[in-house]
Amino acid sequence: MSLETVSEKFGELTFNDEVMREKLPKSVYKQLRATIYSGQPLDRRVADTIAHGIKEWAMEHGATHYCHWFQPLTGSTAEKHDAFLDFEDGVAMERFTGNQLVQGEPDASSFPSGGIRSTFEARGYTAWDPSSPIFILKSGKASIMAIPSIFVSYTGEALDAKTPLLRSMRVINEACKEALALFGREVEWVKPTLGCEQEYFLIPKDYYDSRIDLRLTDRTVLGAPSPKDQQLHDHYFGQVPYPVRDFMEDMDDELYRLGIPAKTRHNEVAPSQYEIACIYQFTNKAVDQNQLLMQVVEETAREHGLEAIFHEKPFAGINGSGKHNNWSLQDSEGNNLLEPTDNPRENLPFLFFVTAVMQGVHRYEALIRSSVATIGNDHRLGANEAPPAIVSVFLGKDINDIIDEVAEGKFGAHKEQGDIDHGVDEIFDIEKDNTDRNRTSPFAFTGNKFEFRAVGGSQNVSLPQTFINLVVADAVQELVGEVKGRLDKGLGMEKALLEVMQKSVKDSTNIRFLGDNYSEEWVHEAEKRGLSNNRKTPEALKIWEDDKYVNLFTKHKVLSKEELHARYHIELENYATKLQIEANTLVRMVETSVLPAALDYQREAASALKAAYDLKENVGISADDLGEQGELVKSVVGLVASQRKSLASLKGALEKVQSLEDPYEHASHCAHEVSDAMLAVREVADQLEAVVDESCWRIPNYTDLLHSIS
């Protein structure tokens, strides 16, 4: 990193507020700022003026091209580079117009659309999202001006992840403003905020490139455990290895220049696993920045001879990677609506919004679970490192006690929050938070926000945040209506509020859980409570076809029935396709690497055994010794036979996939039969790895992959 301070370099590659003030006329600057912060429509007549200012700034940073940077339904980002080059009277010049800024026209037929678009209906549009800053992408010699955008079809359907998110932000804004008005607070806007904690692995690039499974699927489809993984708990918060520190310095430098507020970095639980956490932003901006962060991490890692892996479970037997999403609500006056303050018992707006969160999550817990349904999360959720596929809410003892008081029909008296006396006189007492932390809970209140811990490490966080915004907004809207109904009947505000909240918290009692979500006891308890436990992705997604959820989306105009249906089919197809790629990769590795290595070793072991028999009389080898060597050869022969048998079963399961036309049956077959057959193949392959001579084994092992950075 250079000697510049973080504050000096922060956001220098973004068209931020300071640059806007410098490059735009004052009246245009005010209009654009009002659009960014208040959502006011931008007069299209000023687009040319804005575009000129943006072009001048971008060219000062060496940009030669621009692109509309959007998030199609592939799970990643997309961009098409256009040069600023234009001609006037045959003379080359740089030009960037308002129309080019405001919208683009990428081919919509080649992106997943779930049937909304077909090959002969290719027109789609990208449209600039002014609320997320334009930035410069620098890579090698290239400097590209990227314009964060939405992506819709010719007939207006959302073909991306961001459009529904922005719609959900509109809904929660309207609902929360109405709620605050009940408490005598008129605000200009309410926006959800998000801070992401991103986990990832770093692997030496030469080892990564030597494994076809990592290159094609980002996870190891086979691999025996290393003798040492995370048993000693010595990696978590341990000293960051020097090569990784250098990588992190360069990563942070790039993130700061892009205006991404990277705050915390540390070793995670598993060997070679790390985490980076960012300060919260408005949700749509945080989503864009998390997508960009993953790109920066990957590119910076390669510059350091490393490969970054975001997959939820790249290595069996050790912790996988999540993306803990810290979600809250902020109003235009800078207030966090989920801040308990010093006296949460008398903070009625806080209690109201906590009540709404619990009601929304309880009523639509299966929908919240479906938002994190991915092929990677199927391996991670409930694997003693992440919450199970059961959604519950953790409030912490103190807030839970307050909610219990509300359920009893009263607002409790103020109680002082004490300090923690650690018994060391010369050290300050520790200020005690109003909640403990529950790392096993999928949706935990952590002081002034809710942490959704079930999101997968490779996921685009738009979908889970869209769903959370929607279910909370729906609950807020309903509760406000019930309070207003009681006020119209002459009840006082506090009495009306208490009645509505009392009923709501009683109804949502089953979603509250303070214990260990990893325990088997909780699985049984959750079943008694009527909570869903959709373990596999296809069954989690199936609810998107239910009228209950379709009506929720259409009621609030976040997704139409057609848009939701399209996403259902896209996600099922993505899941089945990715799992088949994994299965075929496993077949390839077993046939071209595992079995040849095992047969090589089998020949060597058999040859050594024969030689020992030939020398038996001359050197005095005992029959028992020969018997032990014979058992080794017999073991390898047996494992090779088992490997061939398990491989045949996997191929049979893959062949059956082709006969299944129904998308759900197709994905479900992959989730169960193909996945189970893969596990059987892997079990034998891993046993072979444990006995075959390392000189014969053709694949970098877990020790190579996880313990080579120092």
In this structure, are 300 and 326 located in the same domain?
yes
Number of domains in the chain: 3
Q: What is the DSSP letter of 414?
A: P
- In the listed set 160, 186, 203, which residue is the last one of a domain according to the structure? 160
- pLDDT of 430 reads 44
Residue 569 lies in a domain: no
Nearest Cα to Cα of residue 270 among 382, 385, 120: 385
Residue 374 lies in a domain: yes
In this structure, are 260 and 406 located in the same domain?
yes
In this structure, are 401 and 501 located in the same domain?
yes
In this structure, are 667 and 631 located in the same domain?
yes
In this structure, are 610 and 547 located in the same domain?
no
- The whole-angstrom separation of Cα 527 and Cα 521 is 10
- In the listed set 559, 594, 616, which residue is the last one of a domain according to the structure? 559
Residue 354 lies in a domain: yes
Structure tokens at 23: 């490059």
Q: How remote is the C-alpha of 353 from its chain's centroid?
A: 25
Beta-strand ranges (E) seen in 115-168 are 124-128, 135-139, 142-153
- pLDDT of 2 reads 52
- pLDDT of 219 reads 97
Nearest Cα to Cα of residue 248 among 260, 270, 264, 237: 264
Q: How confident is the model over 60-81, as pLDDT tens digits?
A: 999 999 999 999 999 899 999 9
In this structure, are 550 and 599 located in the same domain?
no
- In the listed set 559, 587, 603, which residue is the last one of a domain according to the structure? 559
Contacts 24+ apart (CB under 8 A), 701-705: 701/223, 701/224, 701/226, 702/220, 702/223, 702/224, 702/225, 702/226, 702/229, 702/315, 703/226, 703/227, 703/228, 704/204, 704/207, 705/203, 705/204, 705/207, 705/208, 705/211, 705/220, 705/223, 705/272, 705/315
CATH of the domain at 121: 3.10.20.70
In this structure, are 154 and 183 located in the same domain?
no
In this structure, are 699 and 633 located in the same domain?
yes
- pLDDT of 328 reads 98
**Does residue 575 contact residue 667 with C-beta atoms inside 8 Å?**
yes
Element (H, E) at 535: none
**Does residue 567 contact residue 114 with C-beta atoms inside 8 Å?**
yes
The pTM assigned to this predicted structure is: 0.93
Q: What is the DSSP letter of 380?
A: H
Q: How confident is the model over 377-399, as pLDDT tens digits?
A: 999 987 767 778 999 999 999 89
- pLDDT of 619 reads 57
Residue 424 lies in a domain: no
Q: Is 7 helix (H, G, I), strand (E, B) or coil?
A: helix
Residue 332 lies in a domain: yes
User: Measuring CA to CA, how many Å separate 543 from each of 223, 371, 549?
Assistant: 35, 11, 7
Ramachandran quadrant class, 110 (left: phi over 0; alpha: psi -120 to 50; beta: rest): alpha
Residue 423 lies in a domain: no
User: Mind giving me the DSSP string for 562-573?
Assistant: HHHHHHHHHHHH
Angle among Cα 36, 42, 48 to the nearest 5 degrees reads: 110
Residue 206 domain boundaries: 168-221+229-414+430-559
CATH of the domain at 686: 1.20.120.1560
In this structure, are 150 and 173 located in the same domain?
no
**Does residue 161 contact residue 467 with C-beta atoms inside 8 Å?**
no
In this structure, are 511 and 469 located in the same domain?
yes
Residue 10 lies in a domain: yes
The list of the chain residues with pLDDT below 70 reads 1-2, 117-122, 384, 412-437, 612, 615-625
Residue type at 135 in one-letter notation: F
In 490-560, alpha helices (H): 493-507, 520-529, 537-541, 547-555
CATH of the domain at 309: 3.30.590.10
In this structure, are 584 and 538 located in the same domain?
no
Residue 129 lies in a domain: yes
Burial zone of 488 (CB within 10 Å; 0-12 exposed, 13-18 middle, 19+ buried): exposed
Q: How remote is the C-alpha of 82 from its chain's centroid?
A: 30
In this structure, are 254 and 106 located in the same domain?
no
Q: What is the DSSP letter of 361?
A: H
